[in-house]
């Protein structure tokens, strides 16, 4: 009987799915998600299907949830059956929140049948509909089960990796080993992404990308992606979206693409409290998140803290030429890292009317990172030891971030809406170090201090409008203003073994005031054809003005304008296969770490300094991809090409004054080209055992300018193949047990002046879900056979450098999670927010 109703509903769907709402109409995501599980072709909420029965003016609605009330049953099929004829006369599909609605129902007696793969069929009998009266069935519970589909047992679990029309989605909430870690631990497992030991992220080899949190930017992300990721607990991440070809709606910045981290949100009525905690060899965490929802008002309040400890051993071999003399530096250092990170949030949402809602939120993030290093440095001149120095450095990187947003949205009809979004974000950053210069016996000879305070503030106002035109067209347009201010104050102080500190005349104090204003507007048009093509074309115009000055004078940076087009074409080859072609142009503006003129000499043999004269870089991206489902297997294959001009490139040169030292800064001297392919897939080996993985291969070419031995600027280039991949497997065992294993490799990274060697990582974890599904207990281990070794080699006519960083990164952690509260599902209002996708993150320059 279940097959009969499902087939009838599929026949009812046929007429309307062909012209479904964007973006998942013809040419969008194929039916089926690679796990043998059907789902709607569109990613929008559920839609109504044409009725075979008489029409009336009543409505039947409700929510479909699992029997434990812990999650909605997304895309469940609902059939309305006439009690007398026993034939289905209407039907629909639940949305991602489990909500469904059957409209224009005639007076009569019916039976409702709810089905979804992985759950037992649910029937509600004796439904009486009176003329002109709506019927709310409330919460409908489905109990889990395993059913047969195409001779393969498939459960109702969401796939770990999904592909949608314009993005790849990694469902992090299914990751057993990430719990107890932070966002960087999650991103290591996402296809097309790679994360180094410091938490710096790259997408298909490009670190010029933009990270959003719940579709919103934050100034701490603009300052350093690595720092921002450490503030986000893995337990709170629901999904990670990788957008390689953003449409015109997104800011033009982020030449490599956009990463959008979606955190878990409650759509539950009543009071709830989630507790997440963990303890491990390298770190411990505690998180409390509560929510209250009653009627039109919803309130969320949460906090998370994480402390970690690690240690490393670093070696540096460096050859430079200074005044015709070869200077060899051999340096070793023991490093001890301690960090304390926290993120706290308070949010509100209120339904002003049936079609209007207001949301507001305050997020506070804190980061306290310290590194103690003991340097031993030997200098050789023409192979003769000339000096040995001992230096103890205590570095402090602190930051506090506040994000405040207020958003309004009005829905005129399904698919037509207008929104106004505002965001204010500010970060206070402190990058200080204290250095003690010692004798071989450990006696103090002198002291040095670098004080560097930074602020990064940003105000954003935007409005967007979207409107469907008929059944197969859609238009979107909007305007946006971004107002940024970056300030940096720095100074050096010196002192003897005792006494007060005084200014260092060799390194005078300074400051930078950098104001950037961006005015933007966009227009996007989507059109679907009867032969299953979907075209999405758009363009975005951005005008940027900069007002900057330092302690010496005004910095003259001309205003500039950019017109950035985008084109996405998709074609549904069959119900299970889709081919897509995309082109877009992106720009990348420099971030705080590239602009900051502070002369960071924590290690006097390897000095870092920013460049406030940097201009934006421009990138053209082309991508062709094919996705297909073959029985139990989902497979995606894509080829891409990326070309960047005026690239913001790291450049290292020998110091003119410090013996054996090199200085690293940023310059607009680069041109980069990358061409390659990605393959990833997901397969059910058995009904309870999944395997997914992928491989990234691309050829990277860079060119720029550097000085030769005579001091003349000469062309330089470097190239090579970059190979990376990941493999992950999950097994569901009886009685709520689960096992997961992960292994990944980050291939060699090509730099203008050298290479950074690849590294591998692995983890295994086991988790036990409590019988009521409100809690779990887990145990996981990472890199337990040894730490990680990262090697960087740089070469030029004036210097050679080899840096080895060995991090003792083994970890074993025990995690616990529990949900408290009596809950029922309610509809969650759609929200919009600010997206600033534009600033290049500096990462770590070491």
Residues 612-639 have pLDDT tens digits of 999 999 999 999 999 888 878 888 899 9
Q: Are 811 and 779 in contact (CB under 8 A)?
A: no
Distance CA 223, CA 234 (A): 21
**Which whole-number Å values give the CA distances from 200 to 183, 426, 453, 841, in the listed order?**
11, 22, 22, 9
Q: Which helix (H) or strand (E) holds 152?
A: strand 152-154
Residues 596-619 have pLDDT tens digits of 999 889 999 999 999 999 999 999
Q: What proportion of the chain, given as a percentage, has pLDDT over 90? A: 33
pTM of this prediction? 0.72
Q: Are 755 and 720 in contact (CB under 8 A)?
A: yes
| Residues 571-578, mean pLDDT to the nearest whole number | 85
Find all residues with CB under 8 Å of 384, minimum gap 6, and list them.
none
Terminal Cα distance for the chain, rounded: 65
The answer to whether residue 524 scores a pLDDT higher than 90 is: yes
Parallel/antiparallel/unpaired status of strands 356-381 and 662-686: unpaired
| Residues 209-224, mean pLDDT to the nearest whole number | 67
What is the reported pLDDT for 421?
Answer: 92
Q: Are 262 and 791 in contact (CB under 8 A)?
A: no
Distance CA 169, CA 242 (A): 6
Distance CA 471, CA 20 (A): 7
Residues 764-784 have pLDDT tens digits of 999 898 876 678 899 999 888
Distance CA 303, CA 288 (A): 5
What is the reported pLDDT for 154?
Answer: 35
Find all residues with CB under 8 Å of 550, minimum gap 6, and list them.
510, 511, 512, 513, 597, 612
pLDDT band at 2 (very low <50, low <70, confident <90, very high): very low
pLDDT band at 216 (very low <50, low <70, confident <90, very high): low
| Pair of tokens at residue 148 | 């047969």
| Residues 414-427, mean pLDDT to the nearest whole number | 90
pLDDT band at 48 (very low <50, low <70, confident <90, very high): very low
Neighbouring-strand partners of residue 720? 700
Find all residues with CB under 8 Å of 64, minimum gap 6, and list them.
72, 73, 76, 78, 94, 98, 100, 114, 116, 140, 142
DSSP class of residue 734?
G
pLDDT band at 393 (very low <50, low <70, confident <90, very high): very high
Distance CA 97, CA 82 (A): 27
Question: Helix (H, G, I), strand (E, B), or coil: what is residue 559?
Answer: coil
Residues 531-558 have pLDDT tens digits of 889 899 999 999 999 999 998 899 988 9
The answer to whether residue 834 scores a pLDDT higher than 80 is: no
DSSP class of residue 415?
T
- Give the angle 826-830-836 at the CA atoms, nearest 5°: 140
Which of these, 452, 447, 430, 437, lies nearest to 501 by C-alpha position?
A: 447
Question: Helix (H, G, I), strand (E, B), or coil: what is residue 7?
Answer: helix
Average pLDDT taken over every residue of the chain:
81
């Amino acid at each position: 009987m279940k097959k009969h109703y499902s087939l009838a509903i599929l026949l009812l769907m046929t007429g309307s799915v062909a012209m479904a709402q964007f973006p998942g109409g013809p040419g969008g995501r194929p039916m089926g998600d690679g796990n043998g599980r059907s789902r709607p072709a569109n990613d929008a909420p559920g839609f109504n299907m044409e009725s075979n029965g008489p029409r009336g003016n009543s409505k039947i609605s409700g929510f479909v949830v699992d029997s434990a009330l812990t999650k909605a049953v997304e895309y469940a099929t609902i059939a309305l059956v006439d009690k007398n004829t026993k034939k289905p006369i209407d039907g629909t599909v639940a949305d991602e929140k489990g909500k469904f609605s059957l409209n224009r129902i005639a007076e009569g007696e019916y039976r409702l049948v709810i089905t979804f793969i992985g759950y037992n069929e649910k029937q509600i009998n004796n439904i009486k509909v009176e003329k002109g009266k709506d019927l709310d069935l409330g919460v409908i519970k489905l109990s889990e089960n395993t059913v047969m589909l195409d001779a393969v047992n498939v459960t109702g679990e969401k796939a770990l990796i999904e592909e949608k029309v314009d993005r790849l989605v990694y469902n992090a909430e299914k990751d057993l080993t990430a719990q107890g870690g932070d966002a960087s631990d999650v991103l290591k497992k996402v296809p097309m992404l790679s994360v180094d030991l410091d938490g710096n992220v790259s997408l298909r080899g490009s670190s010029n990308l933009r990270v959003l949190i719940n579709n919103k930017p934050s100034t701490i992300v603009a300052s350093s992606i690595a720092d921002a990721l450490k503030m986000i607990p893995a337990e709170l991440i629901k999904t990670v979206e990788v957008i390689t070809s953003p449409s015109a709606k997104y800011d033009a910045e982020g030449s490599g693409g956009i990463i959008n981290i979606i955190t878990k949100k409650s759509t539950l009525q009543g009071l709830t409290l989630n507790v997440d905690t963990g303890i491990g060899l390298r770190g411990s965490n505690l998180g409390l998140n509560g929510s209250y929802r009653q009627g039109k008002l919803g309130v969320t309040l949460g906090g998370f803290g994480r402390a970690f400890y690690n240690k490393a051993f670093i070696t540096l071999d460096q050859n430079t030429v200074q005044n015709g003399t070869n200077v060899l530096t051999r340096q070793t250092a023991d490093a001890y890292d301690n960090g304390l990170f926290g993120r706290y949030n308070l949010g509100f949402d209120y339904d002003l009317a049936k079609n209007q809602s207001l949301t507001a939120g305050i997020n506070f993030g804190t980061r306290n990172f310290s590194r103690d290093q003991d340097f031993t440095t030997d200098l050789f001149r023409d192979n003769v030891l000339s000096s040995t120095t001992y230096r103890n450095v205590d570095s402090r990187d602190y930051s506090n971030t506040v994000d405040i947003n207020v958003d309004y949205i009005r829905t005129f009809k399904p698919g037509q809406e207008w929104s106004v979004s505002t965001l204010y974000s500010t970060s206070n950053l402190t990058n200080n170090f204290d250095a003690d210069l010692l004798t071989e016996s450990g006696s103090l000879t002198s002291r040095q201090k670098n004080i560097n305070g930074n602020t990064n503030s940003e105000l954003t106002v935007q409005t967007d409008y979207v409107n469907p035109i008929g059944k197969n067209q859609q238009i979107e347009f909007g305007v946006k203003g971004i107002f940024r201010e970056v300030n940096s104050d720095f100074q050096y102080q010196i002192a003897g073994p005792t006494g007060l500190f005084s200014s260092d005349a060799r390194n005078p104090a300074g400051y930078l005031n950098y104001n950037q204003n961006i005015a933007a507007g966009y227009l996007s048009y989507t059109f679907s054809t009867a032969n299953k093509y979907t075209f999405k074309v758009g363009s975005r115009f951005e005008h940027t003005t900069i007002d900057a000055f330092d302690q010496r004078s005004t910095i003259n940076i001309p205003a500039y304008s950019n017109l950035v087009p985008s084109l996405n074409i998709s074609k549904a080859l069959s119900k299970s296969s889709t081919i897509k072609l995309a082109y877009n142009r992106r720009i990348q503006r420099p971030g705080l770490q590239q602009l900051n003129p502070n002369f960071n000499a924590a290690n006097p043999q390897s000095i870092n300094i920013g460049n406030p004269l940097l201009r934006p870089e421009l990138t053209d991206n082309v991508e062709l991809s094919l996705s297909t489902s073959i029985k139990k297997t989902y497979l995606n294959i894509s080829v891409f090409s990326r070309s960047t001009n005026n690239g913001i490139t790291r450049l290292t040169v020998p110091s003119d004054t410090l013996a054996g030292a090199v200085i690293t800064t940023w310059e607009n001297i680069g041109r980069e080209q990358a061409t390659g392919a990605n393959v990833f897939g997901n397969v059910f080996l058995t009904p309870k055992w999944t395997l997914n993985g992928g491989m990234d291969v691309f050829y990277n070419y860079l060119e720029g300018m550097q000085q030769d031995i005579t001091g003349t600027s000469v062309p330089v280039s470097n190239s090579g193949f970059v190979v990376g991949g990941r493999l992950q497997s999950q097994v569901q065992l009886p009685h709520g047990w689960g096992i997961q294993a992960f292994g990944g490799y980050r291939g060699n990274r090509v730099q203008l002046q050298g290479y950074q060697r690849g590294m591998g990582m692995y983890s295994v974890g086991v988790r036990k879900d409590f019988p009521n599904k409100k809690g779990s207990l887990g145990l996981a281990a990472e890199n337990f056979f040894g730490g990680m070794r990262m090697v960087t080699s740089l070469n030029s006519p004036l210097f050679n450098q080899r840096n080895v960083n060995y991090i003792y990164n083994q970890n074993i952690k025990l995690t616990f999670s529990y949900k408290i509260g009596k809950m029922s599902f309610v509809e969650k209002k759609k929200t919009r927010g600010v997206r600033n996708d534009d600033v290049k993150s500096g990462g770590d320059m070491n």
